[in-house]
Amino acid sequence: MYRATDGIVLPTTIIGSLPRPQWYSENLGGRSFVEAMINARFREQYTDAVSCFLRDQELAGLDIVTDGDARFDTEVAGYSWFSYALTRMGGVTMEKAYDRPVVFGKLPYPRGHILNEGMEARVNPTIVAPVTRGVLQYTPLFLTAQRLTTKPVKFGTITAELIALTLRDTHYKTRRERIMAVAAALHEELVELAAAGCTCIQMEEPQVHLIGPRGGIDAELTPDFFVEVFNATVKGLRDKTEIWCHTCWGNPAQQRMFARPQTYEPALEALNRIDCDVITFETCASGGMDLAAIGKRITGKKIAIGVIDHHTLQVETPDDVAALIRRALEHIPAERLVIASDCGMGREGMSRRHAFFKMVALVQGTNLVRRELGAKEAPCLAADERFSLLERR
């Protein structure tokens, strides 16, 4: 049952993260979110930052909003997307976590490459006991954002395999056993989140499509296994909330992880078996090269296309956005099409102003196509000429 996207023609959103305000200087560090919220300075800065993120999205006219990933600390290359979960799950110790980092897959970034520094700035805690959800505290994070807006808040989480494959392990016998244990812990966390009223949960960066290009496929880790992991993590949740699967090609410090755009085509059959309501694809940075294949192979789900490139500071025009949506509509029916950014815009490399006007362009371009379809347009206060400070002669 669709909840967040129900009844909206070409619903709009961003994938998740937004650039932190310069004045947001507090960090969670090793604290749990609830513990940190006891501190008056952190509570004020955190709540104000989330309010700014939500208000920017409302001014742009997005239909579904996010908390901007405000819980993540200012870590090199946006690594907090990993470390937030790594350092808060139960059964994990931080002893030796800052030894030489371990990286999953075969993506060589030599010394002198910006991503080499990003990979150096990593932590690898060790599993020493059965993994539990620990103090992830997704529910209070969601509630803190949702009580600041009447729009549906989409809450995103890293997937089980990426957590598990970034942890050292002295407890589980195999990587599969470790990954499924993390999936079970995440499932417990997400059941509570859905029960709290979250109408949209986004699972971020499953390795179904990435494991091939990353050179990580072996007898134990396969795309089919990662489909199994995803489905176990969200089992039963679609009865309670809308589940999104965000497919990503990586976004450390707004950098491309691959020298050239990758194709989704080899993974589409497996992705179609993902147990979700909406599946997102990066289509702006690739010039929409996979739209025909995506429309043909992804069935029974809504498809979110990226019309904003998170890698570049160049702000797309409404016409750029509309043109890509029209191309998508040649292969995907309007009732199944969702409009989004390719990925998050808050991984160290972009200013708030750039991100804001990218969101504005996203809504303006979508409104152009809505008008052509005879559908209701979204108010975009940020583009309302009545409030311009420029004098017209």
Edge-to-edge order in the sheet of strand 200-204: 154-158, 200-204, 242-246, 278-281, 302-306, 337-340
Side chain identity at residue 382, one-letter code: A
Q: What is the pTM of this model?
A: 0.94
pLDDT at position 25 is 95
Assigned token pair, 137:
């505290």
Looking at residue 194, its pLDDT comes to 98
CA distances from 260 to 78, 106, 248 (A): 21, 16, 14
Q: Is 250 helix (H, G, I), strand (E, B) or coil?
A: coil
> 126-132 and 90-93 as β-strands: parallel, antiparallel, unpaired?
antiparallel
- Full set of structural domains in the chain with CATH: 33-384 (3.20.20.210)
Decide: 5 and 243 in contact? Cβ < 8 Å: no
CB 29 within 8 A of CB 329: no
Q: Per-10-residue mean pLDDT for the chain, 393 residues long?
A: 91 97 94 98 98 98 98 86 94 84 69 80 90 98 98 98 94 97 98 98 94 85 96 97 94 75 93 98 96 97 97 96 98 98 90 97 98 98 94 77
